C-alpha cells in the first residue's frame, strides 16, 4: 500500500454485508478497493438527490456488479463506509442506514 491519508470507519453492519457476498469478491474489496478509496476518496462517483453527500465505487467480480457507498469527512480525514453489496440491494440497505 502507498501513503494512505484517510482513516477508515464503517457502519456496524458492513462486516455482515461482506459476509453476504461471494468470499473472493469480499476479499478483493477489503484488500484492493477500500485501500484505493483511502488513498483517494474523490475517485468515487457522487450520488445525487436525497443521497447527495455520499459517493459510490462500482466493482465488478465474475459478472456481478457491487457497490461500496461511503461519505468523506475531509476535515477529520475519515472515509466512512455505509454499505457494501450488489447493485440490486445496496440502495434499499443504504436508505435504512442513513434514516
pLDDT average, residue stretch 74-89: 93
- List the CATH code of the domain at 7-98: 3.30.2310.20
Closest Cα to residue 56, out of 18, 21, 94?
94
Q: Using CA atoms, how far apart are residues 21 and 79, in angstroms rounded to an integer?
A: 22
The mean per-residue pLDDT over the stretch 22-42 comes to 96
pLDDT of 76 above 50: yes
- Whether the Cβ atoms of residue 57 and residue 65 lie closer than 8 Å to each other: no
Q: What is the pLDDT of residue 71?
A: 96
pLDDT given for residue 99 in this prediction: 86
For every residue of the chain, which 3-state class applies, written as one string?
Answer: CCCCCCEEEECCCHHHHHHHCCHHHHHHHHHHHHHHHHHCHHHCEECCHHHCCCEEEEEEECCEEEEEEEEEECCCCEEEEEEEEEHHHHHHHHHHHHC
pTM for the full predicted model:
0.91
pLDDT digits (tens, 9 = 90+) for 33-74: 999 999 999 999 999 999 999 999 999 999 999 999 999 999
Mean pLDDT across 77-97: 92
Question: Is residue 32 over pLDDT 50?
Answer: yes
Mean pLDDT of the chain: 93
Domains of the chain, residue spans: 7-98
pLDDT at site 1: 45
Amino acid at each position: 500500500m502507498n501513503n494512505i491519508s484517510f482513516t477508515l470507519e464503517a457502519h456496524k453492519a458492513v462486516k455482515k454485508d461482506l459476509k453476504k457476498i461471494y468470499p473472493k469478491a469480499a476479499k478483493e474489496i477489503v484488500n484492493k478497493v477500500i485501500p484505493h478509496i483511502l488513498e483517494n476518496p474523490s475517485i468515487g462517483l457522487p450520488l445525487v438527490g436525497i443521497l447527495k453527500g455520499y459517493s459510490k465505487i462500482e466493482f465488478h467480480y465474475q459478472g456481478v456488479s457491487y457497490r461500496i457507498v461511503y461519505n468523506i469527512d475531509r476535515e477529520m480525514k475519515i472515509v466512512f463506509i455505509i454499505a457494501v453489496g450488489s447493485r440490486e440491494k445496496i440502495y434499499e440497505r443504504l436508505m435504512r442506514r442513513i434514516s
